[in-house]
Each structure stands twice: as structure tokens, then as C-alpha cells.
A and B are shown apart, each in its own frame.
Chain A
Amino acid sequence: MAATQVIRSEWTKIRSVASTVWTLSLAVVVTLALSMLISALSANEFDKLNAQDRSDFDPTFISFAGMTLGQLAMIVFGVLVVSNEYSSGMIRTSLAAVPQRGTFLFSKVAVATGLALVVGMATSFAAFFLGQAMLGEHRAQLGDTGVLRAVVGGGLYMTLIAMFSMGVAAMLRSPMLGLGILMPFFFLISNILGNVDATRKVGRFLPDQAGSRIMQVVTPVGDDTPYGPWGGLGIMALWVIAALGGGYALLKRRDA
């Protein structure tokens, strides 16, 4: 069983269902629209900020504000790519055609990851340039220190979020269960853990909080985060490896 055959097959699968198009376009549209809106509002508010807030002002990070919502569409993309196989019963047909379950899962993840990377990277660059246009005189330049790293990092962040969702979906199988756990987790629980003093130290090791560190260019005064931008992305990558490893282990063992 040549892996290239399976990758071609998975590419046919992913491009022939409507959910791929609508989840990814939603991720782009929501991220860009919200990033532009928040960048425009921040530019207007800048004059009212005190000296402390002005020194913490991070125009690059602000232009990625839309990702908090846009990532939810990436999560839906990642979950559906995997769990569609189960909800439709297609998994039995797929595994009869490709009984090497590791080849099957990792070809699927590779194709979906490639697509998420292209869309995520394009979205990140677009969000940056559109956001900076809204910020006017407070804008950052791509050549400024740390800015290119943050913009590339934004694309990687979107990709890793999709990969993490694929791993979780491979473990849970049901799309409703997958979305029912991941959506509130990233939209609510992670935020709550990160904003309550007692849990902040735990919260910042969650995949989204650790990973989004790479999009920051200006480190706020008094920040005691124990990892840097790449360290944070590394923590997120570990979550991804754990989720995909768990998904693979269960797929390998379970009856289809």
C-alpha cells in the first residue's frame, strides 16, 4: 500500500465534500472581518490610553484578534474531516480499502493539515495587512523585529488548532461529541482558566494560550510567562502530538 495512493485518495475525499469549503471560508471571513473591526476600534481608542497601556500596545497582536473566533471554524474543519467518516459509516468502506490504519489516519491528517496550513497562512498574512491598514499611524511593519515571526506563527497556530481537533475527533469519533467538547473548551473554559488568578498558571499551558504567545510582538510589562514564543508553540505542538497519538492508538485497537 503506497502512501502516495492513499494521500491522493484523501485529497479526492476532502475536495469533494461541501463542509471543507464552508468551514475554511468561514475561518477566513470571520478572522479577517473581526480583526479589521477590532484594529479600527483600537486605533480610535489609542489616544485615551495611559502611558502603561501605550507601551504594551501591540499592533501586530491586535490584528490577529479575529482568530479567537476564526479558530472555531478551524476546529469544525478538523473535527468534520475525521468524524465524517464515522457519522456516515464511510469508515468501514475506507478501512476495507486501506487496512493499514496508521497509513489511513496519517494520510488523512497530512492532507487536511496541508490545506489548513495554506488557508491559515494566507489568513494570517491577510489579517496582518488589513489590520495594520485599519490601525493607521499606530501600525507595525512586517520588517519590524518579531513581526514576521508573529505573522508566520499566526498561520502555524491556525494549522495546529485544526490538527489538535483532528486528533480529538479520531478519539471521540462522533462529530457532535467532538464539537461539543472542543467548542466550549476553546471559547469558554480556556478563557476562564486564563483570567482567574488561581488557575492562570495552569491555563497558560493549554494549547491555545501557549500557542497564541507566538503572535505577540510586545511583551506586556510584568509578564511572567515561563516560555517564549517558540516555547509556547512547542507546548501546543505537544498537545497536538498527544491528541493524534491517542487517536491513532484507539483507531488501531478498536473495531471499525
Chain B
Amino acid sequence: MSSKDNKEMYLSEKLYGDVDQVPTRNGYGHGLVELGETNKDVVVLTADISDSVRTQWFADKYPDRFIEVGISEQDMMGIAAGLATVGKIPFVSTYGVFCTGRAWDQIRTTVAYGDFNVKIGGAHGGISVGADGATHQALEEITLTRVLPNMTVIVPADSEETKKATLAAAATDGPFMLRFGREKVPVVTTEKTPFKVGRAETYVFGDDISIIACGPMVYEAIIAAKELDKKGISVRVINMHTVKPIDKETIIKAAKETGAIVTAEEHQVAGGMGSAVAEVVVENCPVPIKLVGVRDRFGESGEPEELMVEFNLKSTDIIKAAEQVLEMKK
């Protein structure tokens, strides 16, 4: 690993120091405000929590294109599909648990089967929602949406990337699921960091093992890579922001060139990003894999940081998994 890698991907200069911390939901809010200016077809729907999911910023500037539906997520999904039929680009926004759980059948049959241009913004993803506890900690959205044909699923690494994903969703036809979080998380990327839907980005170019991460776990993966580097283990770090359609080429290349993979996500491992990676690996180039994530357990109340430790979602957990998988590789 070298500082050269950093510059090529235009990652944050402060990555290994006093890194900036911003909630990813802010990137969604900023993205929507920018779209309000640049794309007159964009409309935003909210189910009563406009401040919390950052759609209030759009509402303040473009009240005529903001639709409040109250606490009725299923209705909201249908309204969005209806708006899409007349050429609007609706962004449907609520907490991840409520859009993908409460309104899953509406997403499946109305939005995905109908293949409508509906963008779902799932806020408060992951365990780090903190004190609200299990009912509000979304740990299943990737699984629930990536099983749906026509659906694109994106889990941005930080606020900057969430903004890019929001803009990209509006520019790409078809149903999208964007997953972002409530708490401040390290800003890994910058405005200049490349982002393309469906193309994973490699941030650290090692060849002993690959760590494939999404969401805020990308930062944890980078920190883990640095620590492993000190032990003489050369790590590749891949940001798998698009979980569907998944970048098979990058995964297969990583499997072939490094021969060992760790995946990391703030989500259930069952059916999540790691599972999606494993599906590609076992079919194309089987190598040992370890999946870091939440294991068949509901969340609970606590401080975000202590929950990340409690649920084994820190760089230290990635390091442990990496050492185990390297043993399996031998």
C-alpha cells in the first residue's frame, strides 16, 4: 500500500488522520437539492420524517414537487409508481426498515415487476442508528431488494458517494434502492473520486487478500488494510457500492489474483453484499471467503460506536477474519 494509491482514486487527504465525519443521509439531501435545480422531473415523497431523511431541504426549495403522504409507506410506493407513469422521477424516502419491509410487496409487484422509474431512499440503514433499537435498525434491505429483477441496489460508502449515487439514480432509468445511514461516518471519498453504477472501485491495490466492503465498512476495511500491511500482508480493498448488478469482473479478478476474500457490511450476512460476492466467487473461481456482518441477530439500543464493537463490525473484526481466511488459503 502506498500514498500513490490514495491520489489515483482521489480519496480524502485526511483518510489516515483526522478524517471528516458526515452522515450519509446528508449526501442524499444535498443530491436531491441539486436535482431539484437540474431536473424538473424529479419529485420527492416523504412519509412524515422529512427532516430525519433530509428531504426537508428539497421541500424548502421546491415545495411544488414535494409530496407528503403521512405515515403510509405502502401508499407512498404506489403513488411513486403512478408519478413515474407520467414521466416523473420520484424519490421515495423513509427509514430502510419501513420502505423495504413494510412496503416490500408494493416494491416487488408495483415498482420492480412494473419496472417503474422509482428511486427508493432507505435511511437509517445499519446497526449504528443506535438508541432507537432493533425496530429502527435496518439490517435486511440489501437482501430484500437484491432478489428483485429490474432493481439496482446501491450502498454508498460516505456522504460524498451518497450524493453521487443520488444523482446517478436520477440519470438512470429503472427502480433503484439507495441505502444510507443516520450517524456521522468517515468521509473516505472526494468529489473527484470515480463513481459509476455497477462498477466497483479498488482503493488499495494489494495481492495477498481482498477485502470487499460497502457502506461505512469501506473505511473500516481501509484501516484494517493499513494494519495488515504493517504485518506484511498486502491487501486489496474494493468498494462494492453497487450490490446489484454486481461487478463480477472485479470480484473474479480479485479472487484469482489474491486467492482469499473478506467481505464487510453493516447488514445481515444472510443474503447481503457478502452473499452476493460469494455467489459470484463459488460459481467462477472458488477461493476461501469470510463474511463480516451481523449474524442472525436483531439489533439493540446503545451508542452507535459501542454497537459497532458489540456486533463485530470494526476494523479489528475485519483483521481477525482476514487472518482466518489467510489460514484457509494455505
Are chains A and B native binding partners rather than an unrelated pairing? Answer: no
Which residues from chain A sit less than 8 Å from chain B, CB to CB? none
